[in-house]
Each structure stands twice: as C-alpha cells, then as structure tokens.
C-alpha cells in the first residue's frame, strides 16, 4: 500500500477550497463566529403541485405561508426547466412583488379565477446594494389569488398571456 503525502501547496489549496465552499453564499463561516441571516440557511423542502398553464405542465413549489411568500425564490441560483413557484393567497387582492434577493430574471404571472390576468415579463434583479426604497415594484393591477414565478421568457417561449387558462388542483386553493 502506498500513501501519498500532500505537499504544503496541496494542503493550502484544499484548505482554501474548503473555505470557499463554506462561504459560497456570502455568509460568515462558523469558524469566524458569524451568525447567519435567515436567507442564508438551508431552505426546507416545500410542498409541490402539478399545474398546467395553457397546455404546458409545470411542477411548482407552493408558497402558502407568509414566511415562504416573503422569501419566495430569493437567494437561489435559478429554476430547473419545467418548474416554478406558485404563491397561494387566502383571497383575491391586488398584489405587488419585487426582486429583493433574486439572482436571476423571472416572468411574474398574475392569476385569478383560473386564468392569467396579466404578467410582468422578463424582470431582472437590481444591482447588489440597491436600497429597498429604490427597488422597482411590479403590481398585479387587478385582484389575484395566485402569483406564478417562472424563468424569464417562459411566457413568450410558449406564446401564453392574459386569458390563458391555468389548471390548479382544488387542494392547493385550500392549502392556506
């Protein structure tokens, strides 16, 4: 049996790589004694549902609680093809969304009574360091019970828009 003894350069590289992995999300490492902000902790798996938008099937994570709706897709790296996040509210009301904490562009789709009523298409996050007061808000413009977020360009790619039927299982509407 042969053992390979690592060089100092090799050990230094492994140590730096390990520290980089610990700090990938921009937070302090445990060795530095820093407390992690809530958005830097591991996201608990969310309940999912299968929906259809027009003839397009999607697997969506369900944001039903105030804390999951507040975090949304923030601080993630992206969405897999054929997936999105469905924000479920107890009643229809005008909604406004922003891109705080987002790292990728989205289509934000406003849904009420089983149809798309509008969308903010291909919206992108503001530069890092933007003050909350300077962030753009995307209003629904009409009362909606559901908001669907999908990768930017998804609506245009599938030629979908206002009036498109959206199939959401009945159990999702009572998930609140």
Residue 73 pLDDT level (bands cut at 50, 70, 90): confident
How big is the chain by its Cα radius of gyration, in Å?
Answer: 20
> Is 50 exceeded by the pLDDT of residue 44?
yes
Mean residue pLDDT across the chain? 79
> Is 60 exceeded by the pLDDT of residue 77?
yes
- What is the average pLDDT across 42-59? 87
Beta strands in the chain (DSSP E): 48-53, 56-63, 83-93, 96-97, 106-112, 115-123, 138-139, 144-151, 166-167
Task: Show me where the domains of the chain are located.
Answer: 8-39, 48-173
Point out the least confidently predicted range of 72-76, 121-125, 147-151, 157-161. 72-76
Residue 119 pLDDT level (bands cut at 50, 70, 90): very high
Instruction: Please tell me the CATH superfamily of domain 48-173, with its number.
Output: Protein of unknown function DUF192 (2.60.120.1140)
> Is 50 exceeded by the pLDDT of residue 113?
yes
> Model-level pTM?
0.74
Return the exposure string of 60-90: e unless at least 16 CB atoms fall within 10 Å of the residue's CB, then b.
bbbbbeeebbebbbebeeebeeeebbbbbbe
Q: Which tops the pLDDT comparison, 37 or 128?
A: 128
**What are the tens digits of pLDDT across the range 145-169?**
999 999 999 999 999 999 999 999 9
């Amino acid at each position: 049996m042969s053992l390979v003894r690592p060089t100092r350069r090799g050990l230094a590289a492994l140590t730096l790589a390990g520290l980089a992995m610990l700090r990938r999300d921009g937070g302090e490492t445990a060795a530095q004694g820093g407390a992690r902000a809530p958005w830097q902790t591991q996201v608990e798996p969310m309940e999912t549902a299968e929906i259809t938008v027009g003839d397009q099937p999607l697997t969506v994570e369900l944001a039903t609680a105030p804390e999951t709706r507040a975090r949304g897709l923030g601080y993630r790296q992206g969405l897999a093809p054929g997936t999105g996040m469905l924000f479920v509210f107890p009643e229809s009301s005008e909604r406004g969304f922003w891109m705080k904490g987002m790292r990728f562009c989205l289509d934000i789709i406003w849904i009420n009574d089983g149809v798309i009523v509008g969308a903010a298409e291909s919206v992108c996050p503001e530069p890092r360091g933007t003050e909350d007061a300077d962030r753009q808000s995307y209003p629904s413009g009409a009362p909606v019970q559901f908001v669907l977020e999908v990768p930017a360009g998804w609506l245009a790619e599938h030629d979908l828009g206002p009036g498109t039927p959206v199939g959401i299982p009945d159990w999702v509407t009572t998930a609140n």
